[in-house]
Amino acid sequence: MILHKKEETQKMAISELKRYKLRMQIIRLLYKRKLQSASELSKKINVSLPTVRSILEDLIAKKVAVALGSGNSQGGRKPIIYSLAADAFFILAVELGQYRGKAVIFNTMNEEVSPVRGFDTSIDDPLLEEKLEKIVDQLLTETGLPDIKITAVGISMPGLVDSENGINRTIKRTEDRNIAARLTKRFGIRTYIENDARMQGLGELIFGKARNTNNTLVINWNWGLGLGMVLNGDIYSGATGCAGELSHIRIMENGKLCECGKRGCLQTIAGAQHLLDMAREEIARGTISQLTSQFGERPQELTPVDIINCAKKGDELSISLLTTLSTNLAWGISILIQLYNPELIVLNGPLTQAGQFILIPVRQALNKYCLESTSESVRIEISDMGEHSGLKGVAVMVFKKIFRDKSIEV
């Protein structure tokens, strides 16, 4: 009799586990494609229509899914269309840059439900946890959400990021590198990390110009040069999560010292710092320019945006500096084109605000550096997502993670 009860308990546990897995499959499908009928879901997961309807009823009761009315009929009664509830899950998305960070709260529909808030920080900031906690409290206050509504936190950051183990090997203090564990402990919420360039690539793949492409390179052009690679329709991370370090491809044998400790990296001749260095050298020489007029007495206050703005006003020096920087970048891009034969290269990041002042010289230089057979088929375009591609990518990454997390209660 006791053995019989034990077997019954095991069967019930197996049945519930199977049903739980089906619930998560349906949630993932509804997240991937927002509106679907029970019949469509039944075919995709190869489960009977009554079972799918029963699970959908469970999800509706738990306020995870909603019925949105009738869809188009192929003959007979119109099917009911289902979707995830927008407020079923909320996640915090954070993007850390070299000097600044920004954060926002997304709902299940990948919609921003809070303002995007910026703050000064870096991956080596000893006060990173405190600053993040402060920004989270601010966002929760502004949205009126209780902290228990935040299911997970996703953070993108520069560096050699091992997302599986939650480690950023670029963080200087060895004891601080397990950043996912640090923040999970601080917030009491599951926290996932990823490389910033890969998240920008994912954002472009799902929402931006890389949609419907299979082989696209997304370059974040800022102080460094992050590379997000879409290969065969998926984001490529490499064997240990370190793929895409475009910044540190060595271009010059005896070039400038890079922050990585080596000389001649692409970043030293194509990053935002090199643009500033070239401009300040010209200002020091007294070169006739709007830059010299405005920043001759305060060259350290000059920013890349100032140079871009002067170029747009017709300043010859600013245009020339952007052309030089773009030509240097094209040197690195030509290597990527020869290696990966992409269909599209998307440029994003602050320097792309220069528009045609960087796009035209990049294209011209590629004609010089690349074989015609490889360069003629690739499109070079500037992202139309602005600064949101990375945060959007983080949201997608986090939702994919939590919908595969066996500990989530649904």
- pLDDT tens-place string over residues 386-404: 778 899 999 999 999 988 8
* Domain 90-200+390-402 coded CATH 3.30.420.40: yes
Check whether 78 has a pLDDT greater than 90.
no
Entry pTM: 0.85
Q: Which residues contact 230 (CB under 8 A, 6 or more apart)?
A: 201, 204, 205, 210, 213, 214, 215, 216, 217, 218, 236
Paired tokens of 10:
């095991």
Paired tokens of 144:
């009126």
Paired tokens of 392:
């959007």
* Domain 2-83 coded CATH 1.10.10.10: yes
Range(s) for CATH 1.10.10.10 in the chain? 2-83
Range(s) for CATH 3.30.420.40 in the chain? 90-200+390-402, 209-384
**pLDDT class of 242 with cuts at 50, 70, 90:** confident
CA–CA separation, 21 and 11 (whole Å): 15
pLDDT of residue 12: 47
Please state, in angstroms and as integers, the Cα–Cα distance from residue 335 to each residue in 253, 270, 338, 369, following that order: 16, 14, 5, 9
The per-residue pLDDT of the chain, averaged, comes to 90
CA–CA separation, 27 and 79 (whole Å): 19
Check whether 325 has a pLDDT greater than 90.
yes
Q: Which residues contact 141 (CB under 8 A, 6 or more apart)?
A: none
**pLDDT class of 72 with cuts at 50, 70, 90:** low
**pLDDT class of 353 with cuts at 50, 70, 90:** very high
Interval 154-170: pLDDT, tens: 999 998 899 989 999 99
For CA atoms 302, 308, 312, 316, give the dihedral sign: positive
- In CATH, the number for domain 209-384 is 3.30.420.40
**pLDDT class of 74 with cuts at 50, 70, 90:** low
**pLDDT class of 320 with cuts at 50, 70, 90:** very high
**pLDDT class of 337 with cuts at 50, 70, 90:** very high
Interval 90-149: pLDDT, tens: 999 999 988 899 999 999 999 999 999 999 999 999 999 999 999 999 999 999 998 888
CA–CA separation, 230 and 202 (whole Å): 8
Is residue 270 a contact partner of residue 256, using CB atoms and an 8 Å limit?
no
Pairing verdict, β 117-120 and 225-231 = unpaired
pLDDT of residue 305: 96
Check whether 269 has a pLDDT greater than 90.
yes
